[in-house]
Structures are given as C-alpha cells and as structure tokens.
Amino acid sequence: MNYIISQFAHPRGRIGRLVGVIMAYENRERNAWAVSLLKVQPADRVLEIGFGPGWALDRVAAVATAGFVAGVEHSQTMVQFATKRNAAAVREGRLALQYGSALALPYETGSFNKVLVVNSLHHWTVPLAGLHEAWRVLMAGGFVVIVEQPRSATSEDGLRGVRQELAEQLANAGFRHIRSESKAMRPAASVAVIGVK
C-alpha cells in the first residue's frame, strides 16, 4: 500500500502511468479552477511546476498560442505521459516539457509572467526553496497560482489555516499582494493562493 501511495508523489513505471490516468481524472476540476485563476492570454509565458499528466498544460497551451508554455516535472514517467498527451503542442514548439526539480528550475530569471503549481507543493522537499525559484523565474509583476487539496482540512477553519500557511510561505519567498480562496469540490475542498512578484 505504501508503494502505491508513494506513486502519487513520484510516479514511475507502469504503475506510475496508471497513477497518471487516475490523477488526470481525479484532478480535472481542480486543474480547471487553477487554469481559470491564471487568466491565460495569447501572449503569456507560463510555467507549470509539477505538471503530472499534463492536463492543465494542455488547456494553457490552447490559449497561449503566441507565447510560450513550459513544464518542469520530477517524474520521468509523467514527462513521457504528458508529452504523449500534448504531442501536437510539443511538436509545434508551443510547449516544452522537462524533467527537473522545483528547487532548481532550468530557466533564466524573469522568463515567465505566470507560474502554476497544482497539488505539487506538498511534495517538495524544501517548499521555500521552490517558491524562491518560482519567484526568480517570474518577470516583475508576474504572479504564481498555487492550488492544493488539503484532505486533512475538513472544516472551513482548517481550510483557512492552510490558506494562511501557504500565504506565509509565499510572503517569505518575496511575493506580495497575496490573496487566497477556497472552493468546494470532490473528494475534498481545494485552496488557492496567488502572489505577485
């Protein structure tokens, strides 16, 4: 059972591909909400950190047709899965997917105007270091959208506590104008925190 659970943090092999299918299905409402919060425009430069099966990237790339969309993921299995899912956008050069770490993003400072993180932050070994990296790769005035599904937060007070903790982490990483919200969805409510560089 622990092996299966670990696959959701770091999918690998055949079981990892199955986990990718499950994540794409289970997280589609959460990803749709996250993408809506990005307010993607045709010329946007968007990075998703921890893109999993690539569902959100597909939606972002469909709108940011005159910009640049990229993803960094620490699972080779998910890089392969998302590349197959988004084959046309990758082939056309509108989407670039890379294996890598949230703690050392393979992009220059100020490369993006929007960064997306969905259900990934809680897997980072040093969340603050990853948030510093997100801040670094953003242009001045760009923003990050972090969406998490804290299954342990079963009340409005619990959700408020998670939002406050995420907001504090963003503030510690240098973000400002931080706002947050919650949204009821299945199987558990999700929270979003947005911060501006």
Containing structural domain, residue 61 = 2-196
Token pair recorded at residue 132 = 């510093």
19 has pLDDT over 80: no
What pLDDT, on the 0 to 100 scale, is given for residue 24?
Answer: 54
pLDDT band at 26 (very low <50, low <70, confident <90, very high): low
What pLDDT, on the 0 to 100 scale, is given for residue 1?
Answer: 47
- Average pLDDT score over residue span 172-197: 93
What pLDDT, on the 0 to 100 scale, is given for residue 60?
Answer: 97
What pLDDT, on the 0 to 100 scale, is given for residue 79?
Answer: 93
What pLDDT, on the 0 to 100 scale, is given for residue 126?
Answer: 96
What pLDDT, on the 0 to 100 scale, is given for residue 56?
Answer: 94
Identify the bridge partners of residue 118 per DSSP, sorted by sequence position: 147
What pLDDT, on the 0 to 100 scale, is given for residue 48?
Answer: 98
Q: Is residue 18 within 8 Å of 11, Cβ to Cβ?
A: no
Count Cβ neighbours within 10 Å for each residue of 46-81 and write b for 16 or more, e otherwise: bbbbbbbbbbbbbbbbebbeebbbbbbbbbebbbbb
Q: Is residue 177 within 8 Å of 169, Cβ to Cβ?
A: no
13 has pLDDT over 70: no
Q: Is residue 136 within 8 Å of 115, Cβ to Cβ?
A: no
- Average pLDDT score over residue span 9-36: 68
- Average pLDDT score over residue span 1-24: 53
For the chain, what percent of residues have pLDDT higher than 70? Answer: 85
133-157: per-residue pLDDT in tens?
A: 999 999 999 999 999 988 676 678 8
76-103: per-residue pLDDT in tens?
A: 988 998 999 999 999 999 999 999 999 9
99-141: per-residue pLDDT in tens?
A: 999 999 999 999 999 999 999 998 899 999 999 999 999 999 9
- In eight-state DSSP terms, residue 101 is B
Give strand ranges (E) for the chain. Answer: 45-49, 68-73, 95-99, 112-118, 138-148, 176-183, 190-196
CATH number, domain containing residue 55? 3.40.50.150
The count of structural domains within the chain is 1
